[in-house]
Structure 1
Amino acid sequence: MDKQKKYAISYIRFSSIGQQQGSSTARQTQMREDWLSQNLDYELLEGFEDLGVSAYRGRHLEQGELGELLEFVKSRKLPIGSVVLVESIDRIGRMENLTLINLISNIVEFIDILTLEDGIRYSKQSLNKDPSQLYILVGKIQMAGNYSDNLSRRIGASWDRRQVIAKAGGAIKVKTPFYLDTENNLNEKAPVMRRMIDLYLEGHGDRRIAATIKDEFDIAFRESTIKRGFQNKALYGTWTVKGQDYPNVFEPLITEEEYWTLQAIVKDRSRVTKNRTGHLLSGLVVCRHCGYKYSVSRNKNARTAFICSGSKVMKIGCHNRKAIPEAVLMFIFEMTKYKPYNRILQKQIDDEVNSDLLVVNAQIEDIDSKIAKLQKLALLTDDIESLADQINELKARRSELNESKSNQADRRSRASKLYFDGNITEALQIVGYQIMGGDDKVFECEGMRFSYDGYKRIGKSTTVYIVNDQELVYTVKDGVYKFDMPDVFIPEIPYNN
């Protein structure tokens, strides 16, 4: 850094992403460029931006780039006269007065601040020696804080009014999902959302759903937003605000029971690693050292093998780089699969009972979450009586649901459905089946221990693997492989290479 030069650092911020489409960024950038063109002795050293980040509670300082700007100027000895260029003081923050004053003091300890809207330059020296400049700064800080407080009150009052109207059964104006119109009724895109739900209930993942919707309706959806749409209670006509539910605000797309069933399935499926490779053991073999799962490695010139995926991730750097032949792991699976299969089948019960339990469990979890939020809110407000009434109502409802739950027998799991639908890998994950291995090539599974000690080839189609000091003969013929071991019968298994 040239100590003979003077440097400028720019900071641009606005609160709402919607402002990015407007003139906020362009205006602040143009003001910076105009100033630099008029002050040619300055060089723009760095630019920091917090786009769509509110400065009301200082989130831009903790999570945004303003905190990075502060660390930047602290860590570098910038030449005297260098400045931070901002449109106005409220771009730095709209926090409480003392908090914002303290933040500005921290910045001017290392670099001056110049506000482009009025050309005022704030430095440590000027603020200490010129009382009038300090008064101006305090006045601007108060204006910024008052604006945020008033805006917050107006928004809060607007939400409160809408809550009163919704509670009385009246129509309200709120931002709605894509399948509702401005009058809160289902629109022409409602069949799209219905199709998305049906596809998910059929077992399709986000990627397949997005591709199908694009193909059938020519509408593009980001995969990451699909499940989020499933969690919106507007699906069954309910508006949720500040933890409070207001039923019958929107025209429902599905019933409440269908909604809670959907939530239970979303949660249940999130626990399972989707088998994307198509291999039966995908996601079932786990590294003892790093906890990562083994990935399937297929090579045209070699047989399928499994390798710890943690060894391929730089930040993990697992030392377990041993490639384990598919045949060895399939043999371990054949020797250990009967216990997990029994765990799956023992949980099979009537579909209707299981569906009821899914709904009840999802509703209880939702109530628990609401109670927790209200209890936290009680610490921050004087309206304890109103909150206590809401909490008691929720607890009473929870008691009813728990009583209903206790009267039902939970004898069927999703694991059994997956099993009978042919999704064996996911079913095994749900009942806790794992093959745990390490770089010593020793594997443990279902209370059994297997040691892989190498192999030898016999011709082109036969390999002998040494497992637990016994020879495991692996033969491939007509697309089918089979094991031969003394005194052990292993049925033929479709070859998946």
Structure 2
Amino acid sequence: MQDDFPGNQHSSGPVRAYSYVRMSTRKQLRGDSLRRQLERSKAFADEHSLLLDDSLQDLGVSAWKGRNFKTGALGRFLAMVESGQIPKGSYLLIESLDRLSREAVPDALTLFMAIINAGIVIVTLGEDRQIYSRDRLNGDWTKLIIGLAVMSRGHEESQTKSERIRAVAKRKREQAREGKGHITSITPAWIDAKRIDVNRYEFTLNHHAETVRVIYEMATRGLGSTVIARKLNVDGVPAFKSKDGWYQSIIKALLSRPDVIGTFQPHRIQDSKRVPDGDAIENYFPAAIDKDLFLRVQAMRRNPGRPGRKGDTFANLLTGLCHCAHCGGPMTMKMSRVRGNENGRYLVCANYVRGHRCIEGNRHFRYEPLEAVILDHVKEINLAEVLQAARFATVLDAIDETIAALTLQLEGLRKKEQRLALAIEDDSLPPDAIIDLLKARQSERLAVEAELRHQQAERQRQSIRHDNSTNMGDRIAKLRVAWEQAEGATRYELRSEAHAAIRELITEISFDSTSSSAVVVIENGVSAYRVKDGRISGLFRAFAA
């Protein structure tokens, strides 16, 4: 067939034709589509003596949301047209207009006309071959009607397919919440999936689950992500996927993932972004660790001021706790420059050192005596079982009162929702007014439910912290003995673990340059010790023993 062809020669040589091949999924490569599209392009180019370029391919790229011209090969083609690298009069060969775009007709037409107005000739190579150019459309605009019909059909097909996929995905999420199915076979690295039905899988823990437990156990001992990654690499523990060992970022992410306790968060696509869909599903996966261990780590990670690794020996066991009494700024560690005391370490106000906001915090406090007095008296500092019990009971009583009040409030809101739902069937109030009230009550209920979950989690966190602190003094004392006999990385790990334990007891250490003393505040003010000249010189307790 010979078309009414506009020409096959540029002044600079043969006209070039660009074959554009697009397939939404790479699965289509298994079929005949790629061969068919390329053969039709070659036949057209040969028929009209065009120089064919078949490098323009978007394989596995959808045209539904315009990805092919926003980030794909079609977008690069358009950029070359605009820059003049592809001259006017060149040809774009496609199987059908729906290969170009499957967006809504106004958007698809805008793209189509942008190509036409840039002087490019579009040829569709399907059963009903069409040639579109600005001159042709000016002479016979009815061809545009054919193109609009193809654009509309392509968009409707993609929209219908998208709606069906969303409906299937929604049903899978609903079945998963009801315990009747699973959403996907994709699992965390420590879980294997075996299909047992259309939408059901058997999930089992694999050898990586033990690695997860070890990582969490190390985190409860106060080891940071960098130290944990280094230890795993030194011990030759295989990483989940990487052949290049463990990275700090992998450990950090793992220590906040709820799927280690079997919790799964479904997602959906909204505005081309992946967003959470509803509440997380508990017990979806088998748990790699128990919930108490997970919550202990989360409580430690929420503790503000946790430091990163500094040096090779964890020189400052009190890092993150020390502040200037005059300006509230952090204390920084400085090394002595005095001959004969080159290894001496001192704490001084960081703001004073940089000459900003502090003129009184000028004293340099010797670090070693402060660390020693705290470690020497750590059992005494931790004593206070009676003090801790009193404080713990007071905190739990307050939380329990809040939980009880929220539970009553939630029950009342649910009853109001039920009454409003029944009233929708009644004509006593305008439907719009009832619906507005129902929406307001639902919003209130969701807020109360969120606060109730927060309070319940806080109660559990307080219980875990109280249980952990009971033998903290003995634990720190044993660590001290161990690190005094250790070297290198082992010493660092032991001091890091002791640092985490100390932070469970000590809230803050305030340094007063005027009195040359430091005040060690225990358990948010349950008690406080004044330290001066390397010894405890004063004690204050909030509760009588």
TM-score w.r.t. length of structure 2 = 0.48
1:186 to 203, 208, 226: 203
Distance 2:366 2:60 in 1: 50
Aligned-residue CA RMSD (Å)? 5.8
Q: Is 1:4 aligned with 2:20? A: no
What is the CA-CA distance between 1:332 and the residue it aligns to? 12
Q: Is 1:246 aligned with 2:281? A: yes
Equivalent AA in structure 1 for residue 206 of structure 2: A
Q: Cα 1:157–1:40, aligned 2, differ >3 Å: closer, same or farther?
A: same
Match of 1:152 in 2: 162
2:108 to 100, 117, 124: 100
Distance 2:452 2:38 in 1: 62
What is the CA-CA distance between 1:231 and the residue it aligns to? 6.1
Q: Is 1:395 aligned with 2:447? A: yes
Query: Structure 2: any 5+ residue segments left out of the alignment?
Result: 1-9, 267-276, 316-336, 350-363, 376-380, 386-390, 392-398, 400-434, 469-475, 480-490, 504-510, 512-545
Match of 1:81 in 2: 89
Q: What percentage of aligned pairs have identical amino acids?
A: 21
SS at match of 1:174: coil
> 1:139-197: CA deviations, max 9, x gaps?
2111211112111211121123223333433234533305142344432x533144245
Q: Is 1:143 aligned with 2:178? A: no
Distance 1:25 1:167 in 2: 39
Q: Is the 8 A contact 1:56 1:148 kept in 2?
A: yes
Whose Rg is larger?
2
SS at match of 2:265: strand
> 1:280-320: CA deviations, max 9, x gaps?
89xxxxxxxxxxxxxxxxxxxxxxxxxxxxxxxxxxxxxxx
Distance 1:263 1:185 in 2: 29
Q: Is the 8 A contact 1:199 1:209 kept in 2?
A: no
Q: Cα 1:422–1:231, aligned 2, differ >3 Å: closer, same or farther?
A: closer
Q: Is the 8 A contact 2:61 2:68 kept in 1?
A: yes
What is the CA-CA distance between 1:9 and the residue it aligns to? 3.3
Q: Cα 1:126–1:117, aligned 2, differ >3 Å: closer, same or farther?
A: same
Match of 1:164 in 2: 174
Distance 2:122 2:306 in 1: 51
> 1:40-85: CA deviations, max 9, x gaps?
53242x8455454433223444444433332221121744431223
Q: Is the 8 A contact 2:93 2:123 kept in 1?
A: yes
Q: Is the 8 A contact 1:58 1:95 kept in 2?
A: yes
Match of 2:262 in 1: 237
Match of 1:198 in 2: 214
Distance 2:313 2:492 in 1: 15
Q: Cα 1:339–1:221, aligned 2, differ >3 Å: closer, same or farther?
A: farther
> 1:384-423: CA deviations, max 9, x gaps?
99987775454224323554649959999xxx99977445
Q: Cα 1:80–1:96, aligned 2, differ >3 Å: closer, same or farther?
A: same
Distance 2:302 2:14 in 1: 58
Q: Cα 1:219–1:57, aligned 2, differ >3 Å: closer, same or farther?
A: closer
Query: Structure 1: any 5+ residue segments left out of the alignment?
Result: 282-326, 354-359, 361-382, 431-445, 447-497
Q: Cα 1:156–1:68, aligned 2, differ >3 Å: closer, same or farther?
A: same
Q: Is 1:66 aligned with 2:71? A: no
Distance 1:4 1:263 in 2: 69
